[in-house]
Structure 1
Amino acid sequence: ASHAYGGRRTARTEVMFSAGGTAYVYLIYGMYHCVNVVTGAEHDPHAVLIRAVEPLTSTDAARMAAYRGITVKKPASLSGGPGKLCRALRIDKSLNGCRLDDPFGPLWLEQGDSPENLDIAAAPRINIPYAEEYAPLPWRFYLRGNPYVSVIDKQAKPLILS
């Protein structure tokens, strides 16, 4: 389900060939942005789609709801889904290619809790039946019980870190 499957290099996918730690932002259905984190070495196109985010403060949640222009009825409606989270964080194509390891940049990642201390679920990805033998692989990860996750897979297994 990679846009760069088979080494396909286009204007859209060129960012995926950047070094890990780069944002890959693109538009789907002509109306929703999606943000991915490039994870591979330079010239080795790998990226992870970010499907949900959790605001860490009530101020963040209020700002995200204002950006979305909604009254939040349940947490997943705020930022549970790639398009929703991009609207809630004002992520658009202007951020495509930005480095996520620069804390002074417009978009960055910070280290959170150690994965060994988290209850991480592993399940198949969503909406990629065309990925053939890769579609059922457990390459979707989320925090079990997190209210910002939009789709809970009842068959999800705990992620075992070694």
Structure 2
Amino acid sequence: MKKFLLVLVSVILFTACESSDSDSLDFDSNIIADGVEFIPTNATVSNATASMPGDGAMDFSLTKGTAGTSSYQAINFKVNFPLTSSSAPNGSYEFGIGVIGEVLFAQGSYVKGATAYSLAGSTVQVTVLSNTEYRLDFQNIQAVNPLNGDMVFISGYYEGEMN
């Protein structure tokens, strides 16, 4: 009976450790959004539809919490890059209006609870570390609420796995 209990406890502990390890991301992050630390629990990257012919695009998303709740936070953005670039999608992407062909563009949003902000002003530096790992450096990005003009700032970095 003691052997059976020992085996049962071992199986339960192994299963619990295995499932929690597979659900967590391996990353380092120091993002400050609206003056508060934002530690994402989910990070994704995917191919996207480019805004211009001859460009490529990628969607990035860093989220925390459940959408539709007051604790939800998300930084979502899309980068567009020339397919002729040998270093793409590595680069510094500007949020806002610039000269086509002279700068790399990004479009995005920051969501906190039920409030959505448009990302404008400043840049995000994207660095590909491997097929599943990226570094994102947020360089004091302005996030503007289009309904009332309120502004928050996002700065810091995320480095690690993205699903």
TM-score, normalised to structure 2, is 0.28
Higher helix proportion, which one? 1
Higher strand proportion, which one? 2
Larger Rg: 2
TM-score, normalised to structure 1, is 0.28
